[in-house]
Amino acid sequence: MSVQAPSSSAATQQQPDLREHVHEAARRARVAARRLGSLPTAVKDRALHAAADEVLAHRDQILAANAEDLTAARDADTPTAMLDRLALNSQRLDGIAAGLRQVAGLADPVGEVMRGYTLRNGLRLRQQRVPLGVVGMIYEGRPNVTVDAFGLTLKSGNAVLLRGSSSAAKSNEALVVALRTALVGEGLPADAVQLLSAADRATVTHLIQARGLVDVAIPRGGAGLIEAVVRDAQVPTIETGVGNCHVYVHEAADLDIAEQILLNSKARRPSVCNAAETLLVDAAIADEAMPRLRNALQDAGVTVHGGGPDGADEADLRREYLSMDIAVAVVDGVDAAIAHINEYGTGHTEAIVTTNLAAAQRFTEQVDAAAVMVNASTAFTDGEQFGFGAEIGISTQKLHARGPMGLPELTSTKWIAWGEGHTRPA
Amino acid sequence: MSVQAPSSSAATQQQPDLREHVHEAARRARVAARRLGSLPTAVKDRALHAAADEVLAHRDQILAANAEDLTAARDADTPTAMLDRLALNSQRLDGIAAGLRQVAGLADPVGEVMRGYTLRNGLRLRQQRVPLGVVGMIYEGRPNVTVDAFGLTLKSGNAVLLRGSSSAAKSNEALVVALRTALVGEGLPADAVQLLSAADRATVTHLIQARGLVDVAIPRGGAGLIEAVVRDAQVPTIETGVGNCHVYVHEAADLDIAEQILLNSKARRPSVCNAAETLLVDAAIADEAMPRLRNALQDAGVTVHGGGPDGADEADLRREYLSMDIAVAVVDGVDAAIAHINEYGTGHTEAIVTTNLAAAQRFTEQVDAAAVMVNASTAFTDGEQFGFGAEIGISTQKLHARGPMGLPELTSTKWIAWGEGHTRPA
C-alpha cells in the first residue's frame, strides 16, 4: 500500500537505488496529480469525507501502530513533550477525521480566475489558479500532519509525497493505508498520497533534489530540519515556522494590556512557533515596566533571561526557546526596537504594545516579518485564526507565500489566451 | 561608485574575501532596501525620471564603455548574434531611458491591500503588498537588463544586486554610475543598485547562497546559467525563460490559421524564449497538413528536423533551438499531444490550433505550462503584451509567479493586525 521498497534493514546499508525509488514514487505522484488537477470539487469533497470515514474505520489498526511507535520512543528515552506529540488516541483520531471534513467544507481554490481581460488586439486572456502538482512534505513527530497534509493537498488538486519522522513510521503507515483505501474506494488514484520510507535520511535528499518531478518541498519542523532542507534543495522550497517572535512594550503602552499580551504570547502554548521568545521594553519606562512584567512572567512559571543591568546575552536573544523561557532586553525607542527585531527576528510574528498611533504605524511599516501585531498577541498568527479553515504551515520566507498557508497557497497559476488566429506584429 | 572591490586581476586568483565582499554589498543593499520600502510613489517616480535623465547625460561615457566591451568581444570571436545583444547605440540608449519613464508611469504595487477583514473577536486584519527586499539578478550579455532590472526593482521598493556578464562589464559599470548618480541626486541611497564584479564566477555562488541577506535570486539567461543557479542556490530563486514551446495543429485546425500561427511562433524572433521549437501535427491530417506546413517553414528559411516517416529524434524534441530550426513530430490526437508536451515541454508556452471547442478546453486544462494559447501565437507570452508595461523575466516555475513577471511579482506580503489588547483563548 504505502511506498515501502527499502526495508529498514536494507536502507541502513547504503542503498544505490534509493534515489530511483523516490523518483519512481514521484513519477507515480505526477500521474496521479494530473488526474487530481481537473477533478470537480464535489468529487474531491466526497473523497475527503471517505478518508475521514476510513480513518475512523481503521481506528484499531492506527492506534495499535501508534502504540508500537510509542513503545519504541519510550525505549529510546524520548522526552515527554515529544511523546505527547507522537501519541494518538481515540479522541485525537476523531479530531483528525473532523479536520478532513472541515477541509471538505472549504472553498476550492482551483479554477479561480485571478485576473482576466481582453487585449487591444482582441486576445482574451485570463490567469487561473491551478494546482502546484506534486508537493513533498518533510516533517517531524506528529502523525496528524500526515492527514492534514493529505487533506489540504487533495482539496487543492495536488498529489503529496510524505516523508515523516521515523519515530512515527508505523502510525503514518497505518494512517496512509486508510487514506489510500478511501481514494481507491472513490475511484481515485491511490498514489495521490504516498509515504516514503523514513528509515534513511537520504530519502529526504532525493525528494528535495527531484527537479522536474517534485514541484515544491515544504519542510515542517525544527530549525535544523528546515535549514538542512533549504540548503540541499534543488526544487522550490517554502521555509516554515521558525519563530523568534518579539513583544515590544513601547513607552506609551498600557501596562495592563502589555502584561496580558506578553503572557498570552509566551505562556499560552510555549512550544509553538508563534510563541514570543523575547520581550523588549522601552528604556523610558523600564524602571516601572520591567519589574512588573518580570514578576508577571515569573508568576506564570516563565524563566526570564536577562533584563537586569547587563541584559540578555547574544545567544539568548537569538534563541527560539519553545519552552517556558524568555529573553528580555531594554531598547531605546521604537526605531531601536525595529532595528533589534530586524536583526534578531526570524521574520515570523512581531508585536508592539502602545497607545501611540505614530509608533504603531512606524512599527507595522518597518518591521520585516510575516505578521505584525498591534496590541494583540503573537498567538494569532495561525491559519485557523486568520479564517483559512486549516493551514499547511506558516511561511517565513517572502517568496510565494508569507505567513499562514491555506489552500490558495497550495496553488500556482496558468495564463490561458483565446484567440482567432492572433499573431504578434514584428 | 559601483561595487568593484576585487580588481579583475586580483579576482582571477582565488580571493578569500570575495564572499565577504558580496555579503558586505548585500548588507548595504539591505540598508538601502529598508529606506526604499517605505518611499512614497512620487519619490520613486521622480528617481526613475532622474535615472533616465542621467543615462542620457552619460551617453558618451556609456557608449565609450560599450565600445570597449564590443572590441574585446570581437577579439574573442564572439558570434554576431551575441555582439548584437551586447551593442548599445544612441537610439538604444533612448529606448532604455524611455523604458525607465514608462516604469514611472506604472501603478505602484507596494501598499496594495490584498485581503482584509475583521475577525469575530474584533481583530482587524489586512494583508498588504510589501517589497521583497534585496533582489539578486544574475544575467548574461544584454546591458539593457541592467537598467530594466533597476527600474522595476526601484519602483517595487527593492534594492538590487546586479551580477551581469563579464562581456558587458564596462557597459554595465557605466550604466550603474549613471543610475547611482541619479539616486544620490534625489537624496536616495546609491546602494539601492550595486554592480557586483563579473570577473569571478564565485561571485554568483556567494550571491545565491547569501541566506538572510538576499531575499530572492533571479537568473535570466540560457538554460546552463539557470540550471547552475537553481542547483547551487540557498536563497529562494525564480527560474526564468527556458522555453521548449510547441505549436500543436489539431485535426480540426484551420490550416491557414495554423500556418500563420506557426510561422509567427517560430520565425518572428527565433532567439527569444517564447519562440516555438517543436511542431506537433495530428496523425489524422498529417498527409495534408505536414507537407504544407513543412513547405511554409522552409520558405520562411526554417530548417525542419524530422517530420518524415521517422520523425524527429529524441534530442531534437528536447532542444531549445533559439534559431531558425524546428523539430516536427506526428501525434495521435489531443491526448497524445498533451502527453508529448508534458513530457518534452519546459512549462513555458504551448499553443493549440483547432476549431474544436472540446479539444481546446482539454488542451488548456491538461497542458502544464505558464501560458497556453488557443489559436494564438506563442509570441504573446510577454509582460508588455500582457499589459504589465514591463517584465523582469518569465517564470517557468510554479512557485511565487508563473509566466511574465511585472511589478506585483517583485513584491511579497505582510499581515498586519490591529487589536485592543487581544489575546487568544487557550
Q: Which of A79-83, A210-214, A368-372 has the lowest mean pLDDT?
A: A79-83
CA distance A397 to A182: 35
Task: Render A252-311 in DSSP notation, one character per residue.
Answer: T--HHHHHHHHHHHHHSSTTSTTSEEEEEEEGGGHHHHHHHHHHHHHHTTPEEEE-STT-
Instruction: Give the tens place of pLDDT for each residue, A114-123.
Output: 999 999 999 9
pLDDT mean over B17-36:
95
Q: Note whether A426 contacts B399, CB cutoff 8 Å.
A: no
Alpha-carbon distance A364 to nearest alpha carbon in chain B (angstroms): 7
Q: How confident is the model at residue A12 (pLDDT cuts 50, 70, 90)?
A: very low
Does the beta-carbon distance from B260 to A397 stay under 8 Å? no
How much is the average pLDDT of A373-400? 92
Contacts of B278 (CB under 8 A, 6+ apart): B244, B245, B246, B247, B312, B317, B326, B327, B328, B329, B344
The mean of the pLDDT values for chain A is: 92
Residue B29's Cβ-side half-sphere holds a number of Cα atoms within 13 Å equal to 34
Contact A421 B375 (CB under 8 A): yes
B35, closest residue in chain A (CA to CA): A366
| B278-316 burial: b if 16+ Cβ within 10 Å, else e | bbbbbeebbeebbeebbebbeeeebebbbbeeebbeeeb
Place of cell 478532513: A100
pLDDT band at A9 (very low <50, low <70, confident <90, very high): very low
Contact state of B119 with A402 under an 8 Å Cβ cutoff:
no
Residue, of B273 and B13, whose pLDDT is higher: B273
CATH superfamily label, A245-380: Aldehyde Dehydrogenase; Chain A, domain 2 (3.40.309.10)
Whether residue B414 and residue A215 make contact (CB cut-off 8 A), yes or no, is no
DSSP, collapsed to helix, strand or coil, labels residue B197 as coil
Looking at the predicted structure, is the pLDDT value of residue A5 above 70? Answer: no
Comparing CB atoms, the residue among A34, A402, A415 nearest residue B371 is A415
Query: Which residue in A123, A257, A344 has the most chain B C-beta atoms within 10 A of its own C-beta, making it the best mutation to test that interface?
Result: A123
Rounded to an integer, what distance in angstroms lies between the CA atom of residue B149 and that of residue B403? 17
Ranges of CATH 3.40.309.10 domains, chain B = 245-380
Q: Is the pLDDT score of B81 beyond 70?
A: yes
To the nearest whole angstrom, how far is the Cα of B212 from the nearest Cα of chain A? 9
| pLDDT per position as a tens digit, B297-353 | 999 999 999 866 556 788 899 999 989 999 999 999 999 999 999 999 999 999 999
Per-residue pLDDT at A126 exceeds 50 = yes
For residue A277, give how far its alpha carbon lies from the nearest alpha carbon of chain B (Å).
16
Q: Return d(Cα A284, Cα A251) in angstroms, integer.
A: 6
* Cα A348 to Cα A198: distance, rounded to the nearest angstrom: 29
Q: What average pLDDT does range A58-77 have in this prediction? A: 96
For residue A196, the model assigns a pLDDT of 96
For chain A, how are helix, strand and coil distributed in percent, rounded to 5? 45, 20, 35
Higher pLDDT, B11 or B188: B188
Model pLDDT, residue B16: 64
Q: Please say whether the dihedral angle defined by the alpha carbons of residues B200, B201, B206 and B208, taken in this order, is positive or negative.
A: positive
Interface probe, candidates A380, A385, A407, chain B, greatest B C-beta count within 10 A: A380
Average pLDDT over residues B19-46: 96
* ipTM (interface pTM): 0.91
Distances (CA, A) of B231 to A16, B256, B348: 22, 43, 20
Q: Which pLDDT value is given to residue A309?
A: 58
Cell of A399: 517568496
Residue linked to cell 525607465: B100
Out of B37, B342, B423, the one facing A261 most closely (by C-beta) is: B423
Query: Does the distance separating the beta carbons of B238 and A424 come in below 8 Å?
Result: no
Assess whether pLDDT exceeds 70 at residue B4: no
Beta-strand ranges (E) seen in B197-269 are 216-220, 245-249
Instruction: Supply the pLDDT for residue B283.
Output: 96
| Backbone φ, ψ for residue A19 (5° rounding) | -60, -50
Partnered with residue A303 across adjacent β-strands are A325
Is residue A241 predicted with pLDDT exceeding 80? Answer: no
Give strand pairing partners of B128: B113, B414
Is the pLDDT assigned to residue A400 strictly greater than 90?
A: yes
Per residue in B396-408, pLDDT (tens digit) is: 999 999 999 999 9
Classify each residue of B55-81 as buried b or exposed e, where b means 16 or more C-beta atoms within 10 Å of its C-beta.
bbebbeebbebbeebbeebeeeebeee
At A331, is the pLDDT very low, low, confident or very high (cuts 50, 70, 90)? very high
Is A358 strand, coil or helix?
helix
Residue percentage of chain A with pLDDT more than 70: 95
Fill in the DSSP letter of residue A237: B
Query: What local confidence, expressed as pLDDT, does residue B8 receive?
Result: 36
In whole angstroms, give the CA distance from residue A46 to residue B267.
49
Confidence of residue A231 (pLDDT cuts 50, 70, 90): confident
For residue A410, give the C-alpha cell. Answer: 497550495
B260 contacts on A by Cβ (under 8 Å): 421, 423
* pLDDT tens-digit readout, A166-220: 999 999 999 999 999 999 999 999 999 999 999 888 999 999 999 989 999 999 8
Q: A8-239+405-415 belongs to which homologous superfamily? A: Aldehyde Dehydrogenase; Chain A, domain 1 (3.40.605.10)
Question: According to DSSP H, which parts of B124-185 are helical?
Answer: 144-155, 169-185
Residue span(s) of chain B under CATH 3.40.605.10 come to: 8-239+405-415
Measure CB to CB from residue A377 to each of B375, B403, B424 and give the nearest one: B424
Answer yes or no: is pLDDT of A22 > 80: yes
Please check the confidence at residue A369 and state whether its pLDDT lies above 90.
Answer: yes
Distance in angstroms (rounded) separating the CA atoms of residues A299 and A294: 9
A211/A113 Cα distance (integer angstroms): 28
**Residue (of A389, A387, A386) closest to A151 by Cα position:** A389
Query: What pLDDT, on the 0 to 100 scale, is given for residue A15?
Result: 59
> Using the beta-carbon criterion (under 8 Å), do B419 and A374 form an inter-chain contact?
yes
Probe site for chain A from B398, B407, B410, B413 (most A CB atoms < 10 A)? B398
The answer to whether A417 contacts B268, with C-beta atoms less than 8 Å apart, is: no
Interatomic CA distance for residues A184 and A189, integer angstroms: 6
Chain centroid offset of residue B307 CA: 32
| CB of B155 closer than 8 Å to CB of B44 | yes
Strands B245-249 and B216-220: unpaired
pLDDT for residue A112 is more than 60: yes
pLDDT of residue A111: 95
Minimal CA separation from B300 to chain A, in Å: 14
What is the structure's pLDDT at A16? 64
Rounded to the nearest angstrom, the minimum Cα separation between A82 and chain B is 20
Indicate the SS3 state at residue A1: coil
Give the best residue of A126, A343, A412 to mutate against chain B (max B CB count within 10 A). Answer: A412
- CA nearest to B346 within chain A: A212
Return d(Cα A206, Cα B40) in angstroms, integer.
Answer: 46
Beta carbons of B387 and A117 less than 8 Å apart: yes
How buried is B21 (Cβ within 10 angstroms: 0-12 exposed, 13-18 middle, 19+ buried)?
Answer: buried
Higher-pLDDT residue of B312 and A251 is A251
Which chain A residues contact residue B230 at CB under 8 A? 211, 234
CA distance B139 to chain A (A): 20
Half-sphere exposure of B284 (CA within 13 A, CB side): 11
Distance (Å, rounded) from C-alpha B426 to C-alpha B424?
Answer: 6
Average pLDDT, chain B: 92
Contact B376 A234 (CB under 8 A): no
